Amino acid sequence: MYLYQRDNWWQFSYNTEIIMNALGKVRAKQGLLLGKMSSLGFDFQEEATLATMSLELVRSCEIEGEFLNLTEVRSSIACRLGINNVGLVPVSRYIDGIAEMLLDAVQNYNKPLTDDRLFGWHSTLFPTGRSGLYKIDVAQYRTNPMQVVSGAMGREKIHYEAPKPQEVPLEMKRFLNWFNTEDATDPVLKAGIAHLWFISIHPFDDGNGRIARAITDMLLTRSECSSRRFYSMSNEMKLSQKEYYKILEKTQKGDGDITEWLLWFLYCLEKALSSAEETHKSVLTKARFWEQNRELIVNQRQKKIINMQFDGFFGKLTTSKWAKLCKCSPDTALNDIKDLINKGVLKKNNDGGRSTNYSIIL
């Protein structure tokens, strides 16, 4: 018997004491991260949000076996966030579409989740009406049976069989009513419940996992009352992909108690919060540099190259590289460099001759 085949299956039960203890630790860590990131300037918060959302979208698709170009994803999200200083590249309509889905979930986190909104998200995932070679129902709930299967042909293993297609509209109506109704459930817990609930219904022919993770991001954003994102749940789910599928399958075949699922979800969220500092290491280092050098007077070329050094966009800094990146003469580049050396920002490395290069003093 699957979870959804139980009477009133949506009235999930869990051990409140155990879950609240784990939730308290996660909420404390969430508050510390948000406080730390909020102390940064607006530009650095934007940069951290761009890095997080790019990682989130790429990893969410990787869980489904789809590999996106991170540079394209970053460029697409940057355009939509109005960030124009990140080295934009041409982007496919498909990546633009799925970036739009995530941004809609995060930036409009307080808007109701509706059938029509979900259909819009689904159409961005499958703009051609196909999933690989197969034609699927797009921008509508599925009209076919759904099984989650693995293994070679003839040796398939059925991990899950979703509700019958004729049951999906009623199940989704119940889910959306709950989702859009404010109650005493902590939004972080609601994110974990919503993820499991939506995946259990499996309302679409394909794309259910990616949409479930967008819904999760939407509720986590709501839990923080801010559309700025500083950690990626999908990145941690990708790193623990086997455990992710294993706990989902175990819960869907369980007795209706979802304590173990919620504990895993909170553990994954805690890891995502802990990983955020490493993800934003360059942003935090850059922010500290400009804080310590707030009275430093530099021109736009110098500011650009300093920031690019922190972002790791190129290797050794040379006069010719400076001139090329700033579209200026070698003499101007050398003058810029000498000025920063005199101000104690750059130092000349030991390599000499044509290998002369410079690095930032931290």
Is-contact 275 29, C-beta < 8 A?
A: no
For residue 278, the number of C-alpha atoms closer than 13 Å in the C-beta half-sphere is 8
CATH 1.10.10.10 fits 298-360, yes or no: yes
21: tokens are 């203890």
**How far apart, in whole angstroms, are the C-alpha atoms of residue 93 and residue 95?**
6
Q: What is the DSSP code string of 7-63?
A: TTTTS-B--HHHHHHHHHHHHHHHHHHHHHHHTS-HHHHHHHHHHHHHHHHHHHHHH
Q: What is the mean pLDDT of each run of 10 residues along the chain (362 residues)?
A: 95 97 97 88 85 94 93 91 74 91 96 98 94 92 92 84 97 98 96 98 96 98 94 96 95 95 98 87 78 87 85 78 91 94 91 78 80
Element (H, E) at 346: strand 346-348
Work out the angle at residue 178's Cα, subtended by the Cα atoms of residues 266 and 256, and round it to the nearest 5 degrees.
55
State the pLDDT at residue 83.
82
Predicted TM-score (pTM) of the model is 0.83
267: tokens are 């553990």
Instruction: Identify residue 13 by its one-letter amino acid code.
Output: S
Q: Which residues pair with 161 in a beta bridge?
A: 147
**How far apart, in whole angstroms, are the C-alpha atoms of residue 165 and residue 179?**
21
The segment(s) of the chain belonging to CATH 1.10.3290.10 are 3-282
314: tokens are 């190129």
Q: Count the Cβ atoms, other than its own, within 10 Å of residue 209.
A: 22
* Closest CA relative to residue 268, chosen from 336, 204, 207, 192: 192
The CA–CA distances, whole Å, from 337 to 204, 295, 300, 310 equal 57, 18, 13, 16
In three-state secondary structure terms, 257 is: strand
Find the DSSP H helices in the chain.
16-38, 42-63, 70-81, 93-107, 115-125, 168-179, 187-201, 208-224, 233-239, 241-252, 259-279, 281-292, 300-311, 319-326, 330-342
Q: What is the CATH number of domain 3-282?
A: 1.10.3290.10
Is-contact 109 222, C-beta < 8 A?
A: yes
State the pLDDT at residue 312.
66
Element (H, E) at 147: strand 147-150
Residue 359 DSSP label: E
The segment(s) of the chain belonging to CATH 1.10.10.10 are 298-360
